[in-house]
Chain A
Amino acid sequence: MTVRIVDRRQDSKNKSSINRSRFIQRFKGQIRKSVADAIARRGIRDLDNGEKIGIPGKDISEPHFRHGRGGKRDMVHPGNDRFNTGDQVERPLGGGSGQGKGKASNEGEGLDDFVFTLTRDEFLDIFFDELALPNLIKRQLARVDEYKRVRAGYTQTGVPTNINLVRTMRGAAGRRVAVGGPYAARLRELQEELDRLKRDVPGDPDIERIEREIACLKARREAIPFIDPFDLRFSNRIRIPQPSTQAVMFCLMDVSGSMDEQKKQMAKRFFMLLYLFLNRNYEKIEVVFIRHHTAAEEVDEENFFHSRETGGTIVSSALKLMQQIIAERYSSSLWNIYGAQASDGDNWNDDSPLCRQILGESILPCVQYFAYIEITEGAPQNLWLEYERLQETHPECFALQRIGEVTDIYPVFRELFHKRLA
């Protein structure tokens, strides 16, 4: 009777995915908190990975009736190397593993974090759960008009500039070993035979025969080419289409004297969230940093967040610069444009109506979405009031929120991008 062998590899591939998703569902609260913590640690563009998530062990443990510490217990352990009956040994500190309390580690605290890895998708899903990008209209015109070349292994044909030396030489060495091996083995044998004959029976007629054969084999072995056309390997590159779902994100921040380090940090978090969020929807994202006090300038990320400026505030300068950059570099037919502005709300009074005008007339028509956050705990000032009027006229692509402290950022962000019924 032959045994039954069943190949189950094809069935029910993700059998555990139900259990896995139930697990995530159940601990969504904790997981989301971990995710939020994780965000706080990461750099603005360093968001491409999954995340290791820790959940406090006590939240997740499955309790059972068990013995706790204490009382009297006898345990047998292996590997005695020093003890004799009646010895007194000090209790090991912590009582975890190791001698004395092997079992206790199973029963004891078990409060270590339960750590597991969310896939990148799971991570972002949880993070952006229930959020949606408004105004996704332009995505649909994702045309393929660009290609990029990527490495794609090796081929046996190609142009000389693309020869891959390492691969070629490795192949050649292998071929020489493989082809020359039998000759070498035979040579060794013959040489031994020859030595033996020369030593034991000098003058044997075989000696000459063997010497001839050796010479012949050596010649053959040397005839093995060092490099054969067969060995050549070329680095291969192929063109892959690059759909132009690209976006540019403008970060506008007030760096006047009233924006202290803490407020900047909050703004940074906010920009990061936005970047991450856009990154989920677009292949390629460019970020433009514009900072301003009374005048605006475009800077790199480092300067954007860390340099200090003082002085008054003229917000319109930044908006003008943004408008100008859009016109020069990011034509709105090719780019999805997002703007995020962070400020503490101070502005030179006469400037605020101008801001509203620039935003409403030149910027909002060509952006997908523009979000304004005001980082302040004080009463709203004139910029806020002007912007509020803008929101009434452009509810679909403009939103504004106020952030009081760090913990507000995530809720505010969620509020800004909360899924709206179409």
Chain B
Amino acid sequence: MSKKKIRPIAEGSDWTVEAIERYDAEIGRVARNYGLDCYRHQLEIITAEQMMDAYASIGMPVYYHHWSFGKHFLETENRYKRGHMGLAYEIVINSDPCIAYLMEENTLTMQALVIAHAAYGHNSFFKGNHLFRQWTSADAIIDYLVFAKNYIAQCEERHGAEAVERLVDACHALMNLGVDRYKRSPRLSLEKETLRQKEREAYLQAQINDLWRTLPKQEVVEMQEEERRFPEEPEENLLYFVEKNAPLLEPWQREVVRIVRKIGQYFYPQRQTQVMNEGWATYWHYTLLNTLYDEGRLSDGFMIEFLQSHTNVVYQPPYNSPWYSGINPYALGFAMWRDLRRICETPDDEDREWFPDVAGSDWRETFNFALSNFKDESFVAQYLSPRLMREFRLFAILDDDTRKNLHIAAIHDDRGYRGLRRTLGEQYNLGSSEPNIQVWNVDLRGDRSLTLRHFLHDRRPLGPETEAVLEHLAYLWGFTVRLEEQLPSGNVNLLFEKKSEKRRREG
């Protein structure tokens, strides 16, 4: 590196508002040079306790109250106090303006790192990735959360905290299966939401009442339609189905179900893009700060502190390490983005063979394309290079409970690359890592019982918690709930049946 005069942006390790502003301006300048497209952002300075708060409420600045958040808070606090974890430097909220939290205990270096990572890295990911663009409305989420919090607080006042808690418990249990995977929900907004909420209440209730009304003169016709199913097509969004069709829920309960569902939906893209998103943000904090260093705007001390924490973040313990807990998304994501740039800029023969379109292309364009159009599953399947598989020394294990031993299905060699890549991509496919459970049928003319069906994949059974979840569903539904399991052969077994006592609506 050529010897340049160092004009550090700011001195010392204690941060000041002015220093943060200067860093932000400089990092922003470099980011714009790289063509990063971001939402406006806002930096918020918070205490460690507030950070733990934010953890507990999945990073949201406003959130409704629930005991489970208290539990998560205690968990976090415990681990933090014992020193098992540093608080992450990156809680960032996918909103417009994008909010990034800076913890007051952090040194100036860490603050700069957070700014680069969250306010520019994640921020541009939120703005660029198609899942976020399609599925979330950054400009409206905070409003919606305010609405949700107020609404649930009102419900607690009116119907008692206990009743609300019971309901939210049940919704949380089904939250994973409360997302639309294929069609986007309409945009959210506080005003519209409040306005429409009453309308929806009235309308929905009318619908439900209608649904359950048995009109004597239609009976004959219905007899002929004995085979007609409800819903006509299986429904995978359980919470949506409950919200729209559960016979005994009161209007406010439907609204609460809706709130939990909407928020779950909002986080769905984050769950699908962990590797890409974290990798992207890590790649950019690394690149932006290194660029500033090359320009002579950062001191050596700054870089050493920065690199130390960067290295910790992207550390991947091997499978036999006591610290191993799966593949570190930061490590994999960072390595993949970096590798992608290498393939663009200095491809070797292997890269040309594997990535004919990418090798030698303009890396910014390739980055933008990858950023916009992929999620973890497809990103890995598309861009994981043999070189990285060798670097990570990846290997695939086939665990089949009908065999006595584990079987090494593929390793990082010529025979294994494609298999490895496919397996790893599939590992990030939420559709296959979560059980496929759908609403199968409602016995409209009989006991109103609800039947779910679990489609067995690779013979993987449901976990021990299943019955408890079913209980929650039965509470929401108000009548008997059944869970069946469909084997690949087409045979169907009944797994559980939860009889629910009929609850009469009060008033």
Are A and B interaction partners?
yes
**Contact call B427/A91, Cβ cutoff below 8 A:** no
Known: A16-B56, A81-B393. A70 touches B401 (CB 8 A): yes
* Binary CB contact string for chain A from 27 to 69 against chain B (1 if under 8 A, 0 otherwise): 0000000000000000000000000000000001111111111
A98 within 8 A of B: yes
Which residues of chain A are within 8 angstroms of B42 by Cβ–Cβ distance?
3-6
Known: A67-B461, A99-B397, A116-B78. A81 touches B68 (CB 8 A): no
**Contact call B45/A72, Cβ cutoff below 8 A:** no
A75 to chain B, nearest CB (A): 5
**Contact call B325/A66, Cβ cutoff below 8 A:** no
B20 within 8 A of A: yes
Contacts from A to B (Cβ < 8 Å)? 2-9, 12-16, 18-26, 60-81, 83-91, 97-103, 105, 107, 109, 114-117
* Chain A to chain B: the 6 pairs with minimum beta-carbon distance, closest first: A79-B318, A23-B70, A71-B460, A19-B70, A68-B463, A63-B465
- Partner of A71 from the list B97, B405, B420, B459 (CB cut-off 8 Å) is B459
**Contact call B20/A98, Cβ cutoff below 8 A:** no
B275 to chain A, nearest CB (A): 12
Which residues of chain A are within 8 angstroms of B437 by Cβ–Cβ distance?
65
Chain A to chain B contacts (Cβ below 8 Å), 14 pairs: A5-B43, A9-B50, A19-B65, A21-B70, A66-B435, A71-B459, A78-B393, A79-B320, A81-B320, A83-B395, A87-B408, A97-B322, A97-B324, A100-B406
**Contact call A88/B406, Cβ cutoff below 8 A:** yes
Question: What is the CA–CA distance of A109 and B399 in the complex, to the nearest angstrom?
Answer: 18
Q: For chain B, what secondary structure do more than half of its interface residues adopt (helix, strand, loop), or is it mixed? A: mixed
Q: Identify 5 new A-B residue pairs, CB closer than 8 A, beyond the known A20-B73, A72-B458, A79-B392.
A: A9-B50, A63-B468, A75-B396, A83-B411, A103-B326
Which residues of chain B are within 8 angstroms of A97 by Cβ–Cβ distance?
322, 324-325
Known: A6-B43, A74-B396, A89-B406. A80 touches B435 (CB 8 A): no
Which residues of chain A are within 8 angstroms of B318 by Cβ–Cβ distance?
78-79, 81
- Partner of A8 from the list B41, B44, B68 (CB cut-off 8 Å) is B44
Which residues of chain A are within 8 angstroms of B172 by Cβ–Cβ distance?
62
**Least CB separation from A4: chain B residue:** B42
**Contact call A85/B409, Cβ cutoff below 8 A:** yes
Most buried by B among A25, A66, A78, A87: A78
A147 to chain B, nearest CB (A): 35
Question: What is the CA–CA distance of A62 and B466 in the complex, to the nearest angstrom?
Answer: 11
Which chain B residues in 467-489 approach chain A with CB under 8 Å? 468-469, 472
Question: What is the CA–CA distance of A364 and B416 in the complex, to the nearest angstrom?
Answer: 87
**Contact call B420/A76, Cβ cutoff below 8 A:** yes
Which residues of chain B are within 8 angstroms of A105 by Cβ–Cβ distance?
325
- Partner of A85 from the list B46, B176, B321, B416 (CB cut-off 8 Å) is B416
- Partner of B463 from the list A67, A84, A91, A114 (CB cut-off 8 Å) is A67
**Contact call A79/B317, Cβ cutoff below 8 A:** yes
**Contact call A116/B74, Cβ cutoff below 8 A:** yes
A77 to chain B, nearest CB (A): 4
Question: What is the CA–CA distance of A9 and B73 in the complex, to the nearest angstrom?
Answer: 18
B319 within 8 A of A: yes
**Least CB separation from B99: chain A residue:** A6
Which residues of chain A are within 8 angstroms of B464 by Cβ–Cβ distance?
68, 109
**Contact call A79/B459, Cβ cutoff below 8 A:** no
**Least CB separation from B452: chain A residue:** A65
**Contact call B324/A102, Cβ cutoff below 8 A:** yes
